[in-house]
Structure 1
Amino acid sequence: MKIAVYGQKLEKNNITYLNQFLLYVFNNSIEIYIEKDFFKILLSFKEFRNFNIPVFSNYKELKGVDLMFTFGGDGTILSAIPLIRDSGIPIVGVNTGNLGFLATFSKDVFLKEIDKIFQKKLYIIPRSLLYLETSIKNLNKFFNFALNEIVVFRNETVSMINIDVHIDDEFLTSYWSDGLIISTPTGSTGYSLSCGGPIISPDNKNFVLTPISPHNLFSRPLIISDCKKLHLKVHSRVKYYSLSMDTRLLSLKKENELFISKAPFYIYLFQERKNTYFKTLREKLLWGVDQRN
């Protein structure tokens, strides 16, 4: 078996867990590769300085990998997506961060279930993505897929922007707001939720459009089928507007129109049987904390 490991940082209290994981890998003769920058972080700790592990730096070097292990929170998984792309490599998200909607394995559970993970006896959950095209081909090497959301918002101005939205070539409305979030069901518990958007379980085939601080009492989040295609045109007092896709950010000229649709592939996440999506919602959003319930 061949695995890859990715992370963005390492806290001292997580060294023991990662060390136990690496020893398990070596003892079971599992081929392992670690992302280059994360390996540099590991080498800053004496516990890992004697490890001689090959590194990778881009998606082309992950050919033949069976599993990707991420150590961190949901942001770490989102940052790993450009490395995985359409390879179909399942992600095992070990939660050493805060929220953990995507990284559902706690450190203790992860080590207890490690045999089942390598034997692929746990659930593999597919998650849909958004795909972005632009009218001006200036994305260069920007990875134009998003697992959580695509966000359009104002740039270098305190004034609101206008965003014309068409769905399947039919005009929907013009949002006068700070911006607009186009979210997948996976991303519905993220930025969209904080702006008043609905929570959508990941087995639904939908997108949600959530305006950011709209100057219109009748602007509300809208759920649409993920087979629909969106066309966005931005009007602003300044030359540029901002575009974010998960953890990636860039500025585009307002003449640059956006075309958004469902991606032709899925990202696959490992999940233990008892750790269901609704259980995660209940725990992470503190549902039922009121003792009167």
Structure 2
Amino acid sequence: MSERSLKFAIIGHECKRQLLQPHVERMVSYLEAHDSTAVIEPEDLSDTDYIISLGGDGTFLKAAGRVGKRQIPIIGVNMGRLGFLADVLPSEIEQTLEKVFNHDYYIENHTVIQLFSDGQPLQNNPFALNDIAVLKRDSASMISIRTYINGDFLVNYQADGLIVATPTGSTAYSLSNGGPIIVPQSGSLCITPVAPHSLNIRPIVINDTSEIVLEVESRSHNFLAAIDGRSEKMAEGTRLTIRKAPYVVKIVKQKNQRYFSTLHEKLMWGADTRQ
């Protein structure tokens, strides 16, 4: 049992409330039986000890965005399919909460990156746990992305877009575009082009203390900046800067979980998919 009453905030997928309701009721009943408080979709996260993300990795990203700098640990319950971030099965909810009460878990710190526009933070949540991407808006033309690392010119990408991914995001959009899988806490970021014009252009892994500057040109004179999938229209000539954020996202992990075992299972490495 915990030494004091704990407060849990439950954040779920808005479109799946009916599907999630039985699991929410289970959690609320369990927490109340353990003298703890459960608040569903609270506006205010003050005094919250833990966040429970109930959904897939998209819901987890939403929860991480809500937490921001507050450093509240997040428990991800996977109601989706793949679930790299949300890795607790619905059948493991009570078991996982019991381990939280008994302090039988560990916290995994995940790097966050931040987007600045012409040297100023964006107004609408400029922080990303997975990735920040610049993408073309029209279907015909590539965009030109002049890229600098710590002030040094890297390359002028001619591509449909460019992804800057954290280790957490290396198994998401970046991976689908041929980027490498990066182990959490490796201190790295990956720059992955989207459909580059030149076959010689490949993803590159850099230190996460690096400052990345992007200058984008487009025939349509604008482009998209996507921050964990949240897109903003940007004007051509806008100078973008990406840096590591001054905080991390804390994820609750069970002690028997291992990253490479999770990779093996989620990506079905070694599985015979022949019919």
TM-score bucket of the superposed structures, by smaller chain? over 0.9
Query: Partners of 2:121 and 2:149 in 1: how far apart?
Result: 23
Q: Percentage identity across aligned positions? A: 37
Which of 196, 199, 209 is matched with 2:181 structurally? 199
- 2:69 counterpart of 1:64: no
Aligned partners of 1:135 and 1:257 also within 8 Å: yes
Give the match for residue 33 of structure 1.
39
- 2:253 counterpart of 1:271: yes
Any unmatched runs of 5+ in structure 2?
1-5
Q: Kindly state the Cα deviation for residue 284 of structure 1 after the two structures are TM-superposed.
A: 0.9
Aligned length: 268
Which of 95, 106, 129 is matched with 1:147 structurally? 129
Farther-moved stretch of structure 1 (186-195 vs 74-83): 74-83
Relative to the length of structure 1, the TM-score reads 0.87
Give the match for residue 76 of structure 1.
59
Q: Map 1:1-293; keep pairs closer than 5 Å.
A: 1-9=6-14, 10=16, 14-35=20-41, 56-57=42-43, 61-135=44-118, 139-140=122-123, 142-290=124-272
CA deviation profile, 1:130-185 (whole Å, cap 9, x unmatched): 11111175833x00110000010101341000000001111111000000000000
Relative to the length of structure 2, the TM-score reads 0.93
Query: Partners of 2:121 and 2:71 in 1: how far apart?
Result: 27
Q: Kindly state the Cα deviation for residue 28 of structure 1 after the two structures are TM-superposed.
A: 2.3
Aligned partners of 2:115 and 2:122 also within 8 Å: no
Aligned partners of 2:188 and 2:208 also within 8 Å: yes
Aligned partners of 1:75 and 1:247 also within 8 Å: no
Aligned partners of 2:78 and 2:88 also within 8 Å: yes
Q: Kindly state the Cα deviation for residue 95 of structure 1 after the two structures are TM-superposed.
A: 0.4
Query: Partners of 2:273 and 2:158 in 1: how far apart?
Result: 41
Aligned partners of 1:154 and 1:241 also within 8 Å: yes
Query: Partners of 2:36 and 2:154 in 1: how far apart?
Result: 53
Q: Kindly state the Cα deviation for residue 280 of structure 1 after the two structures are TM-superposed.
A: 1.2
Query: Partners of 1:215 and 1:126 in 2: how far apart?
Result: 36
Aligned partners of 2:119 and 2:241 also within 8 Å: no
Query: Partners of 1:157 and 1:235 in 2: how far apart?
Result: 15
Aligned partners of 2:108 and 2:251 also within 8 Å: yes
Query: Partners of 2:258 and 2:85 in 1: how far apart?
Result: 11
CA deviation profile, 1:22-79 (whole Å, cap 9, x unmatched): 11122223122221xxxxxxxxxxxxxxxxxxxx22xxx2122110001001110111
Aligned partners of 1:136 and 1:256 also within 8 Å: no
Query: Partners of 2:119 and 2:207 in 1: how far apart?
Result: 26
Aligned partners of 2:189 and 2:206 also within 8 Å: yes
Q: Name the Cα RMSD after superposition.
A: 1.7
Query: Partners of 1:289 and 1:119 in 2: how far apart?
Result: 36
Q: Kindly state the Cα deviation for residue 14 of structure 1 after the two structures are TM-superposed.
A: 4.4
Any unmatched runs of 5+ in structure 1?
36-55
Query: Partners of 2:190 and 2:136 in 1: how far apart?
Result: 20
Aligned partners of 1:126 and 1:268 also within 8 Å: yes
Q: Kindly state the Cα deviation for residue 119 of structure 1 after the two structures are TM-superposed.
A: 3.2
